[in-house]
Each structure stands twice: as structure tokens, then as C-alpha cells.
Amino acid sequence: MTDSDPDEIMAAVARRGDVLEVVGGDGTRKRDLVASLDISRSTVDRAVRELEGTGLVERTTDGYRRTLAGELALREYRRFADHVAGVLECRPLLAELPPDTPFDGALVDGCEVVRPTRHSPNRPVTRLTDLVRRARDVRAFGPAVFPQQVDAYHESIVDRGMEAEILLAEAVVERLVSSYSRALSEALDTGKLAVRVADGPLPYSLTVAETADGPAVGLLVYADGGSVSGYLGNDGPEAVRWAEREFERRWDRGRPLSGIGES
């Protein structure tokens, strides 16, 4: 085996991944690779030579097979490729956020993306609202609030007994107090809602919900003018853990609702 740095190994897997996939762990002959992949014998020869040179495959009496290093490298490459695919799918949403925005890569792994359309501009907000309606416990923060969200939280807290901790921008809290005072008071009176005011700007709306199907994360991203750019959803364990930590970090710095208007 020749010495190779990680970049060379990953480049080899990227170039020869189709061959590495088919080789398997039991041994595959070159003629079978040609037939399975519908490529020329010369291409197979070059691929096998490169993979063997980096220690990702080895020759046996039954043909060529993946080594343990090849198995692990292929597994990591698949994971990397899936992650990049998630990044590319979310690219229109990520483009709305500054480069230093707190945002973990786990959020894009296997994510669901919902964009507004000409005929359904509210699709992202509706998707996040649906998550709230399915939840028995919600922790959320955001720089904006929409009427359908107010209705969903009110009904879920007052009628279903959902528990919620919500951190909002000060202007949003003031709007709730002035425009939705009755709904807000009724929800607060249940003792199941806690509201805090954020200590600074919030880059997006994030919701961590505990549902009958397990925990899930929903996130709304906004364009420069304040319109909703899209919804990103994820129920992966790593995404949920990161979202919980991010909420707790911001929640701990917030101040209680009772602080509004006090001198």
C-alpha cells in the first residue's frame, strides 16, 4: 500500500466509488465488474489498480474485495456525499443567512425543505404550524410571529395542554401584547406557557417539538425584506440535540415577559 493523505483517499473513492461499491467483501472478478457496471475492461483495470494502490481493495483467489479500510472509507464517503446533498438542497435558505450564523451541519442531513410558491406563499409557515399542532411540548424562538401560529399555540396550549417555552424578539412580544392580548393571557393563565424576550437579534425561527412520533426540529428562514424564504425540517437525533442546545443557550440569556414595560 502506498502512503496517501485523506484528500487522495477521498478523491479515489469519489472517482472509483462505483467500482468500490460493486467489489464488495467476498471477492469479485474483473469480468464481473465489467458486466455489472457496463464499462470497459481498461477502465476497470485502472480503477482496480488505483484502489489497490491506496489499500482500499485487495486481490484474493476469488477476485478483488474491499479491505476494511475500503469499507470504512466508502461508508464515510457516502455520509459525506449525503451531507453535501443536504447542503445543496438547502442552499437557497442558507444563502439568506450570514456566514457566522449559528447553524449546525446536522440540520441539513436528511432534511425536509419547503419553499413558498406563487400560488402557496404560506407553505413554509403552514408546515411549521403543523409541527406545533402535533406537539405535546415545544421550545421555540423567532424574530417574527404569524396569525396562524398564534392560533395554533393558543389552541394547543389551552385546549390540548401542550407545554411551551417561547423566546421572541422584543418587537414581536410587544405586538403579541397589543394585538393578541386575550389569546396570550389565556395561554399564560394555564401555567403551561413561558415567554421570554431575546437579548438580541434572532437569525431565524427555530422550533424543537416533542411529538407522538418523536422529537423534531422546524426552522423558518427569512429573506432580507422579512418575507419567509423557506422551512427546513429535521428529526435526526444530532439535529435535535443541536437545536435543543441552541434554544437553551438563547433562552438562558432572555428576560421574562414581565420585564416588558417596567422602568
Please identify, among 31, 58, 77, the residue that sits at the C-terminal boundary of a domain: 77
Residue-level pLDDT at 262: 39
User: In terms of domains, do 73 and 114 share one?
Assistant: no
Is residue 62 domain-shared with residue 112, that is, in the same domain?
A: no
What's the total number of domains in the chain? 2
Statement to judge: residues 251 and 130 lie in one domain? yes
In this prediction, residue 261 carries a pLDDT of 36
* pTM of the shown model: 0.82
Which residues are CB-neighbours of 109 under 8 A, at least 6 positions away?
82, 83, 86, 234, 236, 238, 239
Together in a domain, 13 and 123: no
Strands (E), 158-204: 163-168, 193-197
In a domain, 1, yes or no: no
d(CA 218, CA 198): 19
18, 133: one domain = no
Q: Residue 221: which domain range?
A: 106-259
Indicate if 140 and 197 belong to the same structural domain. yes
C-alpha cell at 109: 442531513
Per-residue confidence in pLDDT tens, the chain, 263 aa: 455 688 888 888 999 989 999 998 788 999 999 999 999 999 999 999 999 999 999 999 989 999 999 999 999 999 999 889 999 999 999 999 999 999 999 999 999 999 999 999 999 999 999 999 999 999 999 999 999 999 999 999 999 999 999 999 999 999 999 999 999 999 999 999 999 999 999 999 999 999 999 999 999 999 998 899 999 999 999 999 999 999 999 999 999 987 433 33
Residue 101 located in a structural domain: no
Is 95 part of a structural domain of the chain? Answer: no
193 and 135, same structural domain? yes
- CA 156, 157, 163: angle at the middle one, nearest 5? 110
Domain boundary among 37, 56, 77: 77
Q: What phi-psi label fits residue 24: left (phi over 0), alpha (psi between -120 and 50 degrees) or beta?
A: left
Phi (first) and psi of residue 105, to 5 degrees: -60, -25
C-alpha distances in Å from residue 27, one per residue of 5, 23, 30, 65, 260: 26, 6, 10, 4, 70
Domain final residue, candidates 34, 59, 77: 77
Indicate whether 71 and 151 sit together in one domain.
no
Q: Are 42 and 134 members of one domain?
A: no
Q: What is the CATH number of the domain that holds 160?
A: 3.30.870.10
